[in-house]
Amino acid sequence: MFGTNWMERLFFMGMIGVAVTVLAYLALRMFVWSKAAAKSLEYIRRHALWTGLIAWAFSSLAGANRAGIYDPHMFYPTPWHAVPWFAIFAPVVAVVSVHAIGQATRPAPKATKRVAVLEFRKMRDYIPTALGWTAFGVFLFSAAVMLFVATTPGIAAITTPVPGAESPYMAGRMSGGPLALALTLALLLLAAGTLLVMRLITSRRSLEALTPEQNKTLRIIGVNRLLRVSATVASGLATIAGNYLVQPMPGSLTLSYTNWLAVANIAVLVAMLLWKPPFLDSPTENAGYNALYLPARSTKLAAGDGVAVARFSDSFASISPLLGIAGLFVGLLTTKWFGWLGPLTLVVVFILLAHWGLELVLRHNYTRPGNPRNRLLAAVPRGLAIVATTACLALIPALIAVTNINKGGMYDWPGFSRSAPQFLIPLLCALVIIGVTAGAGSVVIRRPGLTNAADQLDRTLRRRSLFRIMRTSAAGLLAVLAAVLINLGTAPTYGGPSADSSLAIVGTAFLVTAAVLCFYPIKGFTPHDFMPTAAHDHSVSR
């Protein structure tokens, strides 16, 4: 019978998820970004980053890991049916298409009058020499592997183990010609698509918000990201061929085998991930912003604590997920009383405590008592505040409703005793999250201003801290509300009306929304944040 393996099914589901991500990204890029944001260097830099990340997400060839190999219970009329064409060609087409879309969705000229620029651009001017030759070598090596696969004969599968054989392998493989043709066509398509996208990068209109040198750097960044992912996919095609070649003879004495081409693919993958693109510098003479990303460019113009504080803030915030994992393990000890609300709540609390601790360290190391505080306007995005407030208000009727249901459901929380009210545990979890949020937020607002950094940077750091705190709190409160709704929709009934399963569906949707909310992007630093303050004149907020 004709069938697909579990890796192919997993790959198809992953493709659907990534396709949704691409559609969301295009909607944001084309319909949400404002004209001012499109000119921002930070947004241009982020656009290049997300183009590369989405292409990497599409580049998986895991669905074709058993191409040309068939199990004894499978029947393929011809060797061509043993080739997973979609799993081989879809990542190739997707990688090329994502990079082409990334170039096509660059900010269009917004000025009423366009300035004509006469410049002759060559593709090779934007190809990093070492990376270009490395990618070329990977493509040549993969092509050589395809030629070897084309001459490989097939092996018939066996339905019963060979008497006396220790090998558990009974799968067979088709002749290598069809698989070699499929992999070669995919490699040629990848090479042609890579060249066409590089041509597109070279010929597209320069961004009006950037200088000629910055536009050149941006093109080099685009070619860098394209070549890295293309080389990885080309290496992955060779890995598929390697897995086909090392397939042991059914019933042989082989107990294990190693696909050395897969090891080489991992080496290529790691090298491409670590091969950084050039940095798109700020057009200003402010060295602080550039030094934030490239320490080697720090000069005397970057004097002060601004760069150090910004780096510390980012590095400290990056460990908050680790503290969340610690909260998960601690929360497992509370499941006897809190059920699954214990780990959920303590994950949120530990992350909030991490942001609280960040502000305490900033207060101790980079401020002095009595430093005036800078006034903040629109400190927290309106959407996050609305989500948090809505979750709190929706908890009130949900907690009232949960008191009238029976205990003992699949998503129940035991409580401190059988006589304790059912609403006590979720109410306590919500109050803990609100209390820790208030404490962390008050520390941010009341922290004295930075001693040796620009006022605008101090404001930005406060906004970023408040954003992270409110984002975590809103996600936690939404998750508690989801837990109550799931409990209402799955509670056991004894002789009364059955539970409303639609509430469980809504609760699950809220739970997914809470998880997505944790990744809501935060506004990055801008060159304006590092502009030195002429007279260090603070706006006092009492």
Model confidence pLDDT, tens digit, residues 306-348: 777 877 887 777 788 888 899 999 988 888 888 888 899 999 9
Percent of the chain with pLDDT over 70: 70
Q: Give the separation between CA 86 and CA 14, rounded to whole angstroms.
A: 13
Q: Which residue has the tokens 């290049």?
A: 48
Average pLDDT over residues 71-96: 78
DSSP tag of 374: B
Q: Which of 49-53, 174-178, 327-331, 458-462 has the highest mean pLDDT?
A: 327-331
**Distances from the Cα of 21 to the Cα of 32, 58, 87, 376, 502, angstroms:** 15, 11, 19, 33, 27
Q: How far apart are CA 29 and CA 51, in angstroms?
A: 11
| Region of poorest pLDDT, from 77-91, 198-212, 249-263 | 249-263
CB atoms within 10 A of CB 335: 14
Cα angle value 103/107/109 (rounded, 5°): 120
89 touches 193 (CB < 8 A): no
Q: Are 341 and 480 in contact (CB under 8 A)?
A: yes
> Average per-residue pLDDT in the chain?
77
Q: Rounded to an integer, what distance in angstroms lies between the CA atom of residue 447 and that of residue 468?
A: 16
pLDDT at 109 over 80: no
Residue 48's pLDDT is what?
78
Query: 432 or 119, which is more confident?
Result: 432
Three-state SS at 262:
helix
Identify whether the C-beta of residue 128 lies closer than 8 Å to the C-beta of residue 220.
yes
Classify 523 as helix, strand or coil: coil
- Give pLDDT, residue 285: 47
Rounded-to-integer distance, Cα 58 and Cα 51, Å: 11
Of 246, 228, 250, 249, residue with least CA distance to 238: 246
Q: Tell whether the model's pLDDT for residue 536 goes beyond 50.
A: no
| Residue 86 structure tokens | 């979609």
Q: What is the pLDDT of residues 476-489, one digit of tens each?
A: 999 999 888 888 87
Per-residue pLDDT, 299? 45
Compute the distance between CA of residue 100 and CA of residue 97 in angstroms, rounded to an integer: 5
Per-residue tokens: 536? 């260090």
Q: What percent of the chain has pLDDT over 90?
A: 18
Long-range CB pairs of 300-305, under 8 A, 24+ apart, other chains included = 302/530, 304/452, 304/453, 304/454, 304/532, 305/366, 305/450, 305/451, 305/452, 305/453
Which of 15-19, 67-71, 292-296 has maximum average pLDDT? 67-71
Q: What is the pLDDT of residues 196-229, one digit of tens each?
A: 999 988 888 777 777 788 888 888 888 999 999 9
42-56, 66-80, 95-109: which has the minimum mean pLDDT?
66-80
How would you class 328 by CB atoms within 10 Å of its CB: exposed for 0-12, middle for 13-18, buried for 19 or more?
A: middle
Least confident of 283-287, 366-370, 392-396, 425-429: 283-287
Question: 237 pLDDT exceeds 80?
Answer: yes
Q: What is the pLDDT at residue 539?
A: 39
The mean pLDDT of 58-85, rounded to a whole number, is 75
SS3 542: coil
Label the pairing between strands 172-173 and 69-70: antiparallel
Q: DSSP H helical segments within 491-517, as ranges?
A: 501-517
Length of the chain: 542
Burial class (CB within 10 angstroms; exposed 0-12, middle 13-18, buried 19+) of 194: buried
Residue 29 has which token pair? Answer: 């890029």
Q: Which of 478, 484, 338 is nearest to 397 (CA)?
A: 484
Q: Can you give the pLDDT at residue 42?
A: 67
The whole-angstrom separation of Cα 125 and Cα 219 is 10
Q: Domain map of the chain by residue range?
A: 40-285, 312-528
- What integer pLDDT is reported at residue 459 of this predicted model? 83
The whole-number pLDDT of residue 2 equals: 40
Helical (H) or strand (E) element with 8: helix 6-27
H/E segment holding residue 69: strand 69-70
For the chain, counts of helices (H) and of strands (E): 17, 2
What whole-number distance in Å separates Cα of residue 322 and Cα of residue 328?
Answer: 10
- The band of 70, judged by pLDDT with boundaries at 50, 70 and 90, is confident
Residue of 490 and 415 predicted with greater confidence: 490
CA distances in angstroms from 86 to 15, 92, 337, listed in the order given: 11, 10, 50
Q: Mind giving me the DSSP string for 72-128? A: TT---SSGGGGS-HHHHHHHHHHHHHHHHHHHHTSPPP-SSSPPP------GGGGS-
Q: Is the per-residue pLDDT at 442 higher than 60?
A: yes
Distance in angstroms (rounded) separating the CA atoms of residues 127 and 129: 6
pLDDT of residue 537: 44
Rounded CA-CA distance 487/407 in Å is 9
Residue-wise pLDDT tens digits, 358-379: 888 888 888 888 777 777 766 6
Is residue 192 very low, low, confident or very high in pLDDT (cuts 50, 70, 90)? Answer: very high
Answer whether residue 55 shows pLDDT above 90: no
Q: How confident is the model at residue 288 (pLDDT cuts 50, 70, 90)?
A: low
Backbone angles phi, psi at 70, to 5 degrees: -135, 145
Q: Is the dihedral of CA 320, 324, 329, 330 positive or negative?
A: positive
- For the four alpha carbons of 28, 43, 323 and 269, in that order, the dihedral sign comes to positive
Confidence of residue 432 (pLDDT cuts 50, 70, 90): very high
Crossing angle for the helix pair 455-490 and 341-366, nearest 10 degrees? Answer: 170
pLDDT-based confidence at residue 463 (cuts at 50, 70, 90): confident
Say what the pLDDT of residue 173 is.
79
C-beta separation of 489 from 508 below 8 A: no
Show Cβ contacts of residue 478 under 8 Å, excluding neighbours closer than 6 positions.
Answer: 387, 391, 510, 511, 513, 514, 517
